[in-house]
Amino acid sequence: MTNVAQEIAVESQHAAEAQAADPESKGAKKRNTLFAVAVGWLVLVFSVVLLGWIFGDSLPFLRDPDGINQDALNAGPSWKYPFGNASFGEDVFSQVVEGGRVSLRIATVVTALGIVIGGAMGLFAGYYRGLVDSLVRLVINVMLSIPALLLVIFIVTIRDQSEITVIFALTLLAIPALARIVRASTLQVADREFVKAAEVLGVKRSKILLREVTPNVMPTLISFAFLTTGIIIVVEGTLSFLGLSVEPPTITWGKIIAEGRIKFADTPHMVAMPGLIIFLTVLSLNFVGDQLLKRFDIREASL
């Protein structure tokens, strides 16, 4: 969306906040528990994936994701194999854990790069204004004028399907989005009196940017970081679903779903389980990001 339209759309969102801003209401208590649940889920997912990475098959509930189990070809979920089995009996649960490694790694790296690069861009543009701002805005507009999926597929196709390329492509998405948000937030903060006061006192502008402006932009940035991570997981999942992400034998969540859909009637669990995991993870990320926004910057949140 354009700057303007987005800003106006966001403006109208905050109206709903007036309804539910009471900290003692029943709704708030429900939200707090949900928040805890969401955070808990994220911690769980990340821990399991991390543990799987470090310890591999030595963990009791993990098996070799490529391991063939003759006894359970295309089987549905069971006690032994909680997520069911694939066409050669591979344990889907282990596949999901290993797939998570790649998917989450890509998502976190992209978000981190986006925060650093996009954040810096936004800060400079929003604070120094002038030529820097015009330039950054131009770059943002250019990068955002191709629909996300199209751009990413394009890059992956013209280069190769390595993890680096995928990260590169997704970062090209994250940077302008985050830069725009950071810029808007910086504009607001830079307008505040304590910043103007520091400027009048003669403090060096770069110092003001670092010490005064950035800490006040951080909360919004962190909230959007969560939201962005969720979006990246979805885009990467879509990519690997289409077969355009990292090459096999690397497993990603979208890949498992893509495999599962081939013989859908036999293997619905191969679609449902990773799908459920993706859904819950993205939902938690969105929820956490949204709630953080509410605490820091009430205008932008929606729940």
Instruction: Give me the residues that bind another protein (CB under 8 A), please.
Output: 1-5, 8-9, 12-16, 18-20, 22, 24-27, 30, 129, 138, 141-142, 145-150, 153-155, 157-159, 230, 234, 237-238, 241-242, 244, 254, 257, 261, 264-265, 268, 271-272, 275, 278-279, 282-283, 286-287, 290, 302-303
Q: Please, what is the minimum distance in Å from the beta carbon of residue 100 to another protein? A: 15
CA distance 167 to 152: 10
Nearer to another protein, 220 or 267 (CB): 267
Q: Please, what is the minimum distance in Å from the beta carbon of residue 1 to another protein? A: 5
Produce one character per residue of 259-296: b if its CB has 16 or more CB atoms within 10 Å, e if not.
bbeeeeeebebbbbbbbebbeebbebbbbbbbbbbbeb
Nearer to another protein, 26 or 70 (CB): 26
Nearer to another protein, 4 or 54 (CB): 4
Q: Please, what is the minimum distance in Å from the beta carbon of residue 51 to another protein? A: 25
Q: Please, what is the minimum distance in Å from the beta carbon of residue 193 to another protein? A: 18
Q: Please, what is the minimum distance in Å from the beta carbon of residue 92 to another protein? A: 15
Other C-beta atoms closer than 10 Å to the C-beta of 217 total: 26
Nearer to another protein, 102 or 282 (CB): 282
What angle separates helix 92-113 from helix 214-241, to the nearest 10 degrees? Answer: 140
Q: Are 198 and 185 in contact (CB under 8 A)?
A: no
CA distance 81 to 66: 14
Nearer to another protein, 63 or 255 (CB): 255
Helix (H, G, I), strand (E, B) or coil at 64: coil
Q: Are 298 and 291 in contact (CB under 8 A)?
A: no
Residues pairing with 85 in the sheet:
91
